[in-house]
């Protein structure tokens, strides 16, 4: 005997709600019922395709929430390495009430576009702490340029921001030669850089940045950590500032 719609729906609900308590076989349908049930589901979805879109949206929302939760937990585990590493330079207010950490690559076009965002935020927000975390992921030239940057920081930390602005703000590709040229323009010679690179190589700090990025799910630049949450991509000064304001208001990037 064929099942009517009410029976089909009731059977499905019972099977779903009782699944964990009673063996599924107790609610098994015979072949004819399965066929009718399948036809009913197909007919419903064909008549109401928006249900599929709604389900997909809910799935994506759930997955995004799970990703944020996992990333937030990773931030907590790596708090000191992210926010207080001696290998990073702090701009703005060292005692600011909100910290923004930026993972960047000197050859990242989006990082170059995001440089004015950082500058604008630091100019407008006197209580912002901004951390620059070297994250060379765009090939050998980037790695060489970041090694020079690391040596420059160790020699002349007070001029690092000038170095950063000149190298990242340039339309020229960042290479070792270009980074050395910028360093020389700020009073640090190639000999000094090479000596520091030999005495105190950047390998450990760069590997640490890779490790942290992997735990946070960061695969591109620029990426940020604001409060205790990762933020991916060059999202612009307005959205970055809004997230900072939210952290002040409710402790999260989204209130």
pLDDT digits (tens, 9 = 90+) for 208-219: 999 999 999 899
Mean pLDDT, residues 146-152: 98
**Rounded CA separation 48/107 (Å):** 48
> Is there a domain that residue 63 lies in?
no
Contact at 8 Å (CB) between 237 and 117? yes
Position 6 pLDDT exceeds 60: no
The percentage of residues in the chain with a pLDDT greater than 90, rounded to a whole number, is 67
Does 118 or 71 have the greater pLDDT score?
118
Position 3 pLDDT exceeds 90: no
Task: Return the exposure string of 61-85: e unless at least 16 CB atoms fall within 10 Å of the residue's CB, then b.
Answer: eeeeeeebeebbebbeebeebbbeb
Does 16 or 177 have the greater pLDDT score?
177
Contact at 8 Å (CB) between 105 and 143? no
Matching residue, tokens 């399965």: 34
Closest CA to 167 of 198, 195, 134, 200: 134
pLDDT tens digits, 116-128: 999 999 999 999 9
For the chain, the first-to-last Cα distance in angstroms comes to 55
How much is the pLDDT for 59?
A: 86
Mean pLDDT, residues 182-196: 98
> Is there a domain that residue 68 lies in?
no
Q: Are residues 37 and 91 in the same domain?
A: no
Q: Are residues 136 and 41 in the same domain?
A: no
Q: Are residues 192 and 144 in the same domain?
A: yes
How much is the pLDDT for 62?
A: 83
Q: Are residues 176 and 81 in the same domain?
A: yes
How much is the pLDDT for 4?
A: 45
> What is the CB neighbour count within 10 angstroms for residue 250?
11
Q: Are residues 26 and 141 in the same domain?
A: no
| pTM given for the model | 0.75
> Is there a domain that residue 60 lies in?
no
At residue 27 the predicted structure's pLDDT band, cuts being 50, 70 and 90, is low
**Rounded CA separation 7/13 (Å):** 10
Total tally of structural domains belonging to the chain: 2
Mean pLDDT, residues 233-245: 96
Does 6 or 98 have the greater pLDDT score?
98
How much is the pLDDT for 178?
A: 98
Closest CA to 108 of 235, 233, 212: 233
Q: Are residues 109 and 151 in the same domain?
A: yes
**CATH, residue 101:** 3.40.30.10
> Is there a domain that residue 228 lies in?
yes
| 184, 188, 191, 195: CA torsion to nearest 10 | -140
How much is the pLDDT for 70?
A: 76
Please state which of the ranges 9-13, 64-68, 179-183 shows the lowest mean pLDDT: 9-13
- Residue 232 sits in which domain range? 77-250
**Rounded CA separation 82/29 (Å):** 55
Please state which of the ranges 99-108, 124-133, 138-147, 226-235 shows the lowest mean pLDDT: 226-235
């Amino acid at each position: 005997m064929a099942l009517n719609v009410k029976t089909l729906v009731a059977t499905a609900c019972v099977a779903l709600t009782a699944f964990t308590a009673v063996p599924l076989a107790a609610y098994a349908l015979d072949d004819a019922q399965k066929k009718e049930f399948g036809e009913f589901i197909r007919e419903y979805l064909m008549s109401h395709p928006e249900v599929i879109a709604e389900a997909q949206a809910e799935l994506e929302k759930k997955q995004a929430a799970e990703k944020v939760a996992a990333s937030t937990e990773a931030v907590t585990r790596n708090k000191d390495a992210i926010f207080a590493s001696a290998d990073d330079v702090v701009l703005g207010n060292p005692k600011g009430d909100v910290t923004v950490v930026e993972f960047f690559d000197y050859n990242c076009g989006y990082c170059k576009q995001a440089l004015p965002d950082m500058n604008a935020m630091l100019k407008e927000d006197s209580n912002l702490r901004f951390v620059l975390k070297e994250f060379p992921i765009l090939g050998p030239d980037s790695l060489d340029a970041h090694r020079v940057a690391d040596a420059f920081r160790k020699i002349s930390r007070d001029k690092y921001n000038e170095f950063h602005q000149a190298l990242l703000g340039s339309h020229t590709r960042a290479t070792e030669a270009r980074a050395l040229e910028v360093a020389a323009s700020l009073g640090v010679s190639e000999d000094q850089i090479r000596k520091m690179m030999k005495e105190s190589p950047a390998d450990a700090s760069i590997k640490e940045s890779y490790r942290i990025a992997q735990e946070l799910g960061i695969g591109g630049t620029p990426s940020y950590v604001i409060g205790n949450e990762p933020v991916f991509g060059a999202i612009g000064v307005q959205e970055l500032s809004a997230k900072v304001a939210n952290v002040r208001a409710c402790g999260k990037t989204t209130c």
